Amino acid sequence: MTDFITVAYVDTLLGPGWAGTGDPVLAVSMANAWLTAKIKRVVPDPVPAEIKTAGAQIAKEAAAGNLYKATQKEVLSKTVSAQSGTSTSKTYAAGSKDLSAGENFAMALLVPWTKRSGVMMLKRI
């Protein structure tokens, strides 16, 4: 796992109370793991501000308990009937999950590093 952000950096960016009642050290650790999993390209040194900002947003989500939550199997189809002729149904795509505003913002900031670069040439021998 790469350390993109630190607690001190998130404190300067979001203010000292960003973690609320959550553990700031654990939240930053979770954010660094999340960033490491999402970034597919080599990150230059020093780490770009966009990645650090994304990490701070993810750390805030982690401190609030909105990251790496326990998941249930996705509902593929569910129908409930209350009385004859009335029903409601749900259908979710496999692997779907709700993303928080912080995760969506972080993913938008990370776009340059989440796509694989270039074209791979294959040669048949």
| pLDDT tens sequence for the chain (125 residues) | 788 999 999 999 999 999 888 899 999 999 998 888 888 888 888 888 999 999 999 999 889 888 776 555 555 666 666 677 676 766 666 555 666 667 777 777 777 667 766 666 677 77
**98, HSE (Cβ side, Cα atoms, 13 Å):** 8
Q: Rounded to whole angstroms, how far apart are CA atoms 27 and 23?
A: 6
pLDDT in the model for residue 2: 81
Q: How far is CA 84 from CA 34, 59, 78, 80, 81, in A?
A: 47, 49, 17, 11, 7
* 14 secondary structure, DSSP code: H
pLDDT in the model for residue 92: 60
pLDDT in the model for residue 118: 64
Q: Rounded to whole angstroms, how far apart are CA atoms 88 and 66?
A: 28
pLDDT in the model for residue 93: 60
Query: What's the burial of 9, exposed, middle or buried (CB within 10 Å: 0-12/13-18/19+)?
Result: middle
pLDDT in the model for residue 52: 92
Q: Rounded to whole angstroms, how far apart are CA atoms 50 and 41?
A: 14
* pTM exceeds cut of 0.75: no
